[in-house]
Amino acid sequence: MRIQNRIPNRGFTLVELMVTLAVAAILLSMAVPSFTNTIKNNRLTTQANDLISSLNYARSEAIRRGASVTVETSDGSANWHNGWTIKDGGGNTLRNQDAFQGASTLVGAGSVSSLSYRSTGFLGGGAAISFTLCDDRSGETGRTISVSLTGRPTVGDTTCSG
């Protein structure tokens, strides 16, 4: 009688592979919508932070230089999502912000296309300024960036119409 060394099968069958792929597809189809919302929420947060960072930079430069510093839209409209420029009192460009990626809109209330910081860090003009940041979703997914007369920006949630 002859004894053979049997090598055990390693791997899996085609049926096991198909079942695994089917389960993975079901799990993925449930995760993708949630992941899309996470990406859009992160994009809105980043874009709001870009504006706040620019406003804080302009304010600190106005104080440091002891002169006014202006933040204005790149195209002269109230559409801040097309980008903006920070300029010193002599009109020299200090920093540029590129247009937003994606379907986000950033609009200044009252069609404001520029704001100016005085050497004290306070806003020039007699009123606070606010911006509304929305994407292509509707509901409570937007952000409002408000700049007080003291020049400090704050951010809050807002409802967008999509």
Q: In this predicted structure, what is the pLDDT of residue 97?
A: 94
Confidence of residue 160 (pLDDT cuts 50, 70, 90): confident
pTM over 0.85: no
Question: Which residue ranges form the domains of the chain, and what is each CATH number?
Answer: 44-160 (3.55.40.10)
Give the tokens for residue 7: 């090598």
Residues 41-64 have pLDDT tens digits of 899 999 999 999 999 999 999 999
- Segment 70-121, tens digit of pLDDT: 999 998 888 999 999 999 999 999 999 999 988 899 999 888 999 999 999 9
With 80 as the cut, is the pLDDT of residue 4 above it?
Answer: no
Using an 8 Å Cβ cutoff, are 82 and 76 in contact? no
d(CA 88, CA 61): 8
pLDDT at 3 over 70: no
Q: Is 128 in a helix, a strand, or coil?
A: coil
CA dist list (Å): 13 to 23, 27, 114, 118: 16, 22, 66, 73
pLDDT score for 76: 86
Average pLDDT over the chain reads 89
